[in-house]
């Protein structure tokens, strides 16, 4: 095998492996989406994969055995052969058909054949019930109807947006100014301050929760959105500053010198040159920060509280797990609602993601 052929084979194996990993990784998401589109009765009766066409045993006929003469402790004779009680309980296959007890007490045996089968009953009713909170009628397996109350997640969705957007924008703006200062402005203690910023990356945020909470209580800020904005800003600034510094410091010095010769101030250079050139790094951090804030539970619980009017989606979904632990049609729909906004943000900014992550990794 030549070197070129070996290279193509290695590339094919690599791509196939990555494709397989991506497929396996997305299976739970596909299952979550399909479950959120199925009815309550279908979820209780079968798995989400039953949505796809598959072969399944379907009842075709019934055999009535003699109740008086059949002894379950002895071999049971049928027109298809002689079988034990355990075989009929588990299902025994004969000539492409399956024999299984339909009603053991009445001595009736079900005759089944394999047919292509799928359950295509997909509906958006679960999302309507989750986002509106209106009452809905549920048809139970016995045919009777039951009225239940939906869960209104629209308020929690707006609260999550109210928390996540400012908690992403504020640290980006502050960190961009700080990164530019560390990269291109000479001032006393610059290296020491930047070292302190990098050191803060390894400090667990849990250490600061109680001290910050005590300060918020004394300032009467606890339970407000401002409190969680400031908390997320403080927790996100070290990473944002470090990430943006790595990118801004790689911008050619000639660009700044030309601007300063033309009389531009540091603020003008930052606004007209640095920010447009730093879009990949800004987008990369925006993805990290938004996803972290959106999925946060602990910080929101500590600084906002668990009142219904200020709950974010993560807290509301946790309440649903406790109160509706068996209502998978609700839980899956609510879980997918929490995923929609992060997916939109990631796919909108993902073209900048790799460029931003590679910022400052190669020089020269």
Q: Give me the chain's average pLDDT, please.
A: 84
Return the structure tokens found at 103. Answer: 């009603």
Give the 3-state secondary structure of residue 292: helix
Tell me, what's the pLDDT at 362? 46
Q: What is the mean pLDDT of residues 130-135?
A: 77
Q: What is the mean pLDDT of residues 330-353?
A: 83
SS3 content of the chain, % helix, strand, coil (to 5): 60, 15, 25
Convert the pLDDT of each residue in 183-242 to its tens digit: 888 888 888 999 998 898 888 888 888 899 899 999 888 888 999 999 999 999 998 999
Of 97-111, 142-156, 205-219, give the lowest mean pLDDT range. 142-156
Tell me, what's the pLDDT at 359? 53
Convert the pLDDT of each residue in 51-87 to its tens digit: 888 787 888 888 888 877 787 878 888 878 888 888 8
User: How many of the other CB atoms lie within 10 Å of CB of 232?
Assistant: 25
From CA 153, how far away is CA 69, in angstroms rounded?
60
Per DSSP, the residues of 142-169 read: TS-EEEEE----HHHHHHHHHHHHHHHH
Beta strands in 41-123 (DSSP E): 54-64, 76-78, 81-83, 92-94, 97-103, 108-117
Q: Say if residue 303's pLDDT is above 60.
A: yes
Most trustworthy range by pLDDT among 127-131, 287-291, 356-360? 287-291
Tell me, what's the pLDDT at 73? 79
Read off the pLDDT band of 178 (50, 70, 90).
Answer: very high
Of 111-125, 253-267, 350-364, give the lowest mean pLDDT range. 350-364
Q: What is the mean pLDDT of residues 144-153?
A: 72
Q: Which residues of 310-336 are buried (b: 16+ CB within 10 A; e: fewer)?
A: bbbbbbbbeebeeeeeebbbbbbbbbb
Q: Say if residue 24's pLDDT is above 60.
A: yes
Sign of the dihedral defined by the CA atoms of residues 258, 261, 263, 269, in that order: positive
Read off the pLDDT band of 174 (50, 70, 90).
Answer: very high
Read off the pLDDT band of 363 (50, 70, 90).
Answer: very low
Most trustworthy range by pLDDT among 164-168, 247-251, 276-280? 164-168
From CA 323, how far away is CA 172, in angstroms rounded?
38
Q: Say if residue 354's pLDDT is above 70.
A: no
Tell me, what's the pLDDT at 364? 41
Is residue 352 within 8 Å of residue 279, measured between CB atoms? yes
From CA 63, how far away is CA 66, in angstroms rounded?
10
Distances from the Cα of 1 to the Cα of 7, 8, 11, 12, 184, angstroms: 10, 11, 15, 15, 53
Q: Which residue has the higher pLDDT, 314 or 129?
A: 314
From CA 335, how far away is CA 30, in angstroms rounded?
12
Q: What is the mean pLDDT of residues 25-42?
A: 86
Closest CA to 172 of 290, 84, 52: 290
From CA 85, how far away is CA 103, in angstroms rounded?
12
């Amino acid at each position: 095998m030549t070197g070129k052929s070996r290279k193509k084979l290695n590339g094919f194996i690599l791509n196939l492996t990555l494709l397989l990993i991506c497929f396996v990784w997305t299976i739970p998401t596909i299952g979550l989406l399909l479950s959120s589109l199925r009815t309550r009765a279908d979820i209780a009766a079968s798995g989400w994969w039953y949505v796809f066409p598959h072969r399944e045993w379907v009842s075709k006929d019934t055999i009535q055995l003699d109740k008086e003469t059949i002894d379950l402790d002895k071999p049971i004779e049928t027109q298809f052969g002689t079988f034990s009680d355990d075989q009929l309980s588990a299902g025994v296959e004969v000539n492409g058909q399956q024999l299984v007890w339909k009603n053991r007490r009445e001595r009736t045996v079900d005759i089944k054949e394999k047919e292509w089968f799928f359950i295509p009953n997909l509906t958006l009713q679960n999302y309507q019930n989750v986002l509106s909170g209106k009452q809905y009628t549920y048809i139970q397996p016995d045919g009777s109807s039951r009225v239940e109350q939906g869960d209104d997640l629209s308020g929690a969705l707006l609260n999550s947006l109210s928390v996540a957007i400012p908690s992403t924008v504020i640290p980006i703006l502050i960190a961009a100014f700080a990164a530019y200062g560390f990269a291109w402005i000479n001032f006393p203690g610059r290296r020491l301050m930047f070292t302190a910023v990098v050191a803060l990356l390894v400090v667990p945020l849990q250490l600061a929760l109680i001290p910050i909470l005590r300060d918020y209580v004394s300032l009467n800020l606890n339970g407000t959105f401002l409190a969680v904005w400031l908390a997320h800003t403080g927790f996100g600034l070290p990473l944002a500053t470090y990430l943006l510094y790595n990118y801004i410091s790689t911008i050619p010095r000639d660009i700044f010198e030309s601007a300063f010769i033309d009389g531009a101030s540091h603020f003008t250079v930052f606004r007209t040159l640095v920010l447009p050139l730093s879009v990949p790094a800004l987008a990369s951090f925006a993805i990290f920060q938004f996803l972290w804030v959106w999925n946060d539970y602990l910080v929101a619980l500590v600084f906002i509280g668990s009142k219904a009017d200020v709950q974010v989606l993560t807290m509301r979904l946790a309440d649903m797990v406790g109160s509706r632990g068996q209502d998978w049609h609700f839980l899956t729909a609510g879980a997918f609602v929490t995923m929609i906004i992060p997916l939109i943000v990631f796919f909108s900014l993902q073209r900048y993601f790799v460029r931003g992550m590679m910022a400052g990794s190669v020089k020269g």
